[in-house]
Structure 1
Amino acid sequence: MKIIVASKNPVKINSTQNGFSQVFPEVSLEFIGYSAPSGVSDQPMTNEETLQGAKNRAKHIKNEYPGASFWVGIEGGIEDTEDGMEAFAWVVILSNDQTGHSRTSSFFLPPKVRELVLKGVELGHANDQVFEEHNSKQKGGAVSSLTNGLLGRTEYYEQAVILALIPFVNKELY
């Protein structure tokens, strides 16, 4: 089974690989990552924009690289609410005849990170500045920084990948 991930980011590829391997443990799986445009802001600022980015990435790679079994788009985003700046991601999985999607759990960013993001700094760069890290979005991300490494970005996205696969393993219900 060939799965194409709409990113070359190792976090997104690994979370997809981990999720699919758990859902399809008896199947031989091949994963390929390709860069794909999101068609939204570099830093999606709403739930809707983040979901649209994941959809756009999945649709783009499906059109560009036909012949796979699944195409996966993952988009991280934020939304500024009255309670603070919430961080999350959307996962969209396409096959030739179905779509599955799921959102990760969410968490709130510290005020210093929020302040930088509101000034136009992408979350990954804001996180690097506040936590004195380098390229954290291709590693543990803000979620790892804030949980002292208990939860990394790969594990964080993995659960949403599994949940987005629900329609594919329960075809009779969807």
Structure 2
Amino acid sequence: MKIIIGSKNPAKIMAVQTAFSDYEAEIISNDVPSGVSDQPFSDEETIKGAINRAFGALEISGGQIGIGLEGGVQKTEYGLFLCNWGALAEEGKSPIIGGGARIPLPEEVSARLLAGEELGPVMDDYAKKVNVRKNEGAVGIFTNGQVNRSEMFSHVMKLLIGQYEYRKMG
């Protein structure tokens, strides 16, 4: 089986490799545009980005499965929350979708996002680190390392693979 990830982000790649570790699979990563804002600002936009990456990965590769993983934020009455969504695409079938953990962002970070900045660079500045998005992610910073970005996306991948296996049984 050939699985194509619509991203070169190491945290996302690790999540997919971990999720498919029990499969005989060749896993390839490609830069695939999300087709949404650099900073998705709703569940809907973040889901759409994941679906676009999954089907885009399938289109450019000839693989059997395309995977799209997308992080974003969702505005609520309790503040701005991190959100993350994934999609698994197969030729001629509707996408399988799953979402993951949510935590509120500090006001200092939220204000910058609401002013038009993107989370990745804001987090690098906030945490005084480089490439937070490719390592622990905002979730890793704000959970004091209890959950990192790859683990967060690993949970989403388990939701996707579980639905994929269930659909194959049907």
- TM norm structure 2: 0.94
Query: What residue in structure 1 maps to residue 16 of structure 2?
Result: 16
Offset from partner CA, 1:13-32 (integer Å, 9 cap, x none): 110111122xxx2x322111
Query: What residue in structure 2 maps to residue 45 of structure 1?
Result: 41
- CA distance in 1 between partners of 2:96 and 2:129 (Å): 34
Match of 2:103 among 107, 120, 129: 107
Query: What residue in structure 1 maps to residue 119 of structure 2?
Result: 123
Q: CA deviation at 1:50?
A: 0.5
Mapping of residues 146-157 of structure 1, within 5 Å: 146-157=142-153
- Which amino acid counterpart does residue 133 of structure 1 have in structure 2? K
- Give 5+ residue unaligned stretches, structure 1: none
Question: What RMSD, in angstroms, separates the aligned Cα atoms of the two structures?
Answer: 1.4
2:107 matched to 1:91? no
- Give 4+ residue runs of structure 1 displaced > 6 Å after superposition: none
Offset from partner CA, 1:45-88 (integer Å, 9 cap, x none): 0110000111111111211112x121100110101211010101
- TM norm structure 1: 0.92
Offset from partner CA, 1:107-165 (integer Å, 9 cap, x none): 10011110111111111111111111111000001111111111110001001111012
- CA distance in 1 between partners of 2:124 and 2:133 (Å): 9
Q: In percent, how many aligned pairs have the same letter?
A: 34
SS of the aligned residue for 1:151 comes to: coil
- Give 5+ residue unaligned stretches, structure 2: none
Counterpart contact for 2:58–2:64, Cα < 8 Å: no
Mapping of residues 77-88 of structure 1, within 5 Å: 77-88=72-83
- CA distance in 2 between partners of 1:114 and 1:82 (Å): 13
Q: CA deviation at 1:166?
A: 2.2
Mapping of residues 127-138 of structure 1, within 5 Å: 127-138=123-134
Q: CA deviation at 1:171?
A: 2.4
